Chain A
Amino acid sequence: MKIGVLVKQVPVSDSSLRVNPDQLWVEEGSLNFEMNENDSYALEEALQIKEQSGEGEVVAISMGPADRTPKIIREALSKGADRGIHIVESSSHESDPYILATLFNEAVKDEGFDLVLSGLQSDDMSTGQTGLILGELLGMSTATMVVETEIQGENLKVKRELESGWFQWVTLSLPACVTIQSGINQPRYASLKGIMSAKRKEIRELQKDELMTGDSLQSLSKMYVQHKDKRTEMIEGDTQEIVSRLVDVFKSEAKVL
């Protein structure tokens, strides 16, 4: 079983974000980045599928700048991925999911993956499309929001999450491309041995500007802070003052005490 996993680097979740003066992207200079949470579930699922089948390869694939992206790929390698592919992004940021998928397709189309996994969406752009479009470009069968997987010979059976606590089993023929919902597994930590062996694993670099893409289908023309229309009373003070105001709100506003 040869499995590709898309892992994206995104700002850590409680980052304080500021928009660049050109209003087209966030100021990234002072931010710390981590593996997109949904992708870490996809990586774990790929590793478990490989371990259960007893053979195969897991390839971690990422796109991003040269300074921070290798760290994310290295993290995947230290958890057990066998090698990495890094599409080095030196020019502008790409936010069109179609172009992103086209770039990934160019990078992996000759790999002959049986399975491609990714998180269902990224914590930055959250279009929820890149993984699925990549599956289309690779000509694979697809499913999304997967919370359980089971390889059955030439098929992959997945449990898909529907809305409001409903689920559905879907059987796909391999090769397949599925997006993974959080909670499907408990992602592992890298072992010391894993961290040491990751240093010897290959990360193949490709330059984004040298990969063929089509024309973009959508463009981001402005990024900004949302104007807030709801009035929020911010309760300040020391813990005792906060607690007494909260009790007051529970009694006189919410009337639940």
Chain B
Amino acid sequence: MDILIVFEAKEGQAHRMSLEAVAAAQSMAKELNLTTAVLVMGKDAKSLAENASALDVGEVLTLEHDLLSEYSADGYTEALKQIIAQESPSYVVMGYTYQARDWVPKVSAQLTIPYISDVISVKAEGESPVFTRMVYNGKLISDITPTGGETAIVSFQAAAYPEDSVISGSAETRSVEVELGASMISTVSEPPFQEESGGVDLSGAEVIVSVGRGIGKEENIPLVEALAKSLNAEVGSSRPIVDAGWLPTFRQVGSSGQSVAPKLYLALGISGAIQHIVGMKGSKNIVAINKDAEAPIFEIADYGVVGDILEILPKLTEAIEQ
């Protein structure tokens, strides 16, 4: 095959971003006339293979090995290296998940092949693809071309290619094998665990008033809470506010926190890093207030105000309460 799509499991099923990677690969395959295959590995390989074989891909490669049943960066790196050697794909694609961040650069380094991470789109220039990615926290875009190696690895940003654009089909599965030894894995991993949610489920909220770095200091947080109260809303936040300890972790919206889709999402002093945006861009109405007119949050806002939240917040709360 030309494009090998590496699947990742989430709660026993294909990760949403793996399906999005299929959508990206299918689009690449169509434009450049390439063939595709999916690689599934790990303890959920069987259910992932079932997910994958219902898609319009060339075939599904199933890799099962005791040393791959639990994720380890070294194990996955060694496995993919061997599969690349066996199958010689021109492209290896996947979602830019937290797990991919942990091991895929190692494959690139060990094989000396390009790895273009966090890609938002692919365009064909002649017979070669050009990969587009965001730089400077989403303020600018760059075009990247792989320049060395027989294989290039590409990972796609969340929602760059929508899951619902995946074309269904039916694909045969084929077993593949690798040789792994316990000595290849230099780390010992304990089972994943979830930290306390604080009983707040932001995903069900109709209105979320979310606060970011623009609030300036901890003493200003009550201004946000007052506005949230007037709107009967939940308070959400971007990562820097949680990092600073001004709001608890369970208030965080984004890839490391909760995903939300309220009727109204009010982004106050949030610049709109992609890690935040992936968690809230499904909101029906996004209103952003930020003093930086170039903040990426305005790219996805329905309504934008370039201004000082400290000035606007108290008056807005007052107006709603009347």
Contacts and interface: CB of A to CB of B under 8 A. Distances in A.
Interface of A: 11, 13-14, 16-17, 19, 26, 95, 97-98, 101, 120, 123-129, 132-133, 136-137, 141-145, 160-173, 182-183, 186, 214-226, 228, 230-236, 239-240, 242-244, 246-247, 249-250, 253-257
Nearest to A219: B147
Given A14-B292, A132-B102, 15 more contacts: A123-B137, A132-B105, A165-B195, A170-B187, A219-B144, A220-B142, A222-B142, A223-B142, A230-B301, A232-B298, A234-B304, A246-B303, A246-B305, A249-B287, A254-B263
B231 A257 contact: yes
Given A137-B109, A217-B148, A217-B149, A124 B256 contact: no
A172 B188 CA distance: 7
B195 A167 contact: yes
Contacts of A143: 73, 102, 187
A165 B102 contact: no
Contacts of A128: 101, 105, 117-118
Nearest to A121: B101
Contacts of A165: 194-195, 197, 249-250, 256-258
A168 B191 contact: yes
A5 B315 CA distance: 46
A133 B305 contact: no
Interface stretch (B31-39, B53-61, B217-225, B239-247): B239-247
Contacts of B312: 239, 242-243, 246
A255 to B, nearest CB: 7
B319 interface: yes
Nearest to A217: B114
Interface residues of B, number: 93
B190 A120 contact: no
B83 interface: no
A8 B30 CA distance: 40
Nearest to A179: B101
A215 B108 CA distance: 13
Contact of B115 (A129, A141, A164, A169): A129
Nearest to A218: B114
A127 B315 contact: no
Contacts of B102: 132, 143-145, 160
A244 B319 contact: yes
Nearest to B10: A163
Contacts of B259: 164
B101 A144 contact: yes
Contact of A126 (B137, B193, B250, B287): B137
B294 interface: yes
B14 to A, nearest CB: 14
Contacts of B292: 14
B110 to A, nearest CB: 6
Contacts of A125: 135
B306 A234 contact: yes
Contacts of A170: 187-190
B299 interface: yes
Nearest to A216: B147
Contact of A247 (B118, B149, B320): B320
A72 B137 CA distance: 20
B98 A162 contact: yes
B135 to A, nearest CB: 6
A124 B115 CA distance: 17
24 contacts: A97-B115, A98-B112, A126-B135, A136-B105, A142-B73, A143-B187, A144-B73, A163-B255, A165-B197, A168-B192, A169-B189, A173-B186, A182-B240, A186-B244, A217-B115, A217-B149, A218-B145, A221-B145, A223-B141, A223-B143, A233-B303, A235-B303, A244-B319, A246-B305
Given A168-B193, A182-B239, A17 B118 contact: no
Given A182-B239, A218-B147, A226 B299 contact: yes
A145 B109 contact: no
A143 to B, nearest CB: 7
A11 B304 contact: no
Interface string B269-299: 0010000000000001101000110110011
Contact of A220 (B137, B144, B257, B285): B144
A141 B304 contact: no
A207 to B, nearest CB: 24
A146 to B, nearest CB: 10
Nearest to A228: B299
B174 interface: no
B9 interface: no
B162 interface: no
Contacts of A235: 303-305
Nearest to B279: A164
Given A169-B189, A243-B315, A164 B258 contact: yes
A57 B197 CA distance: 39
A143 B17 CA distance: 22
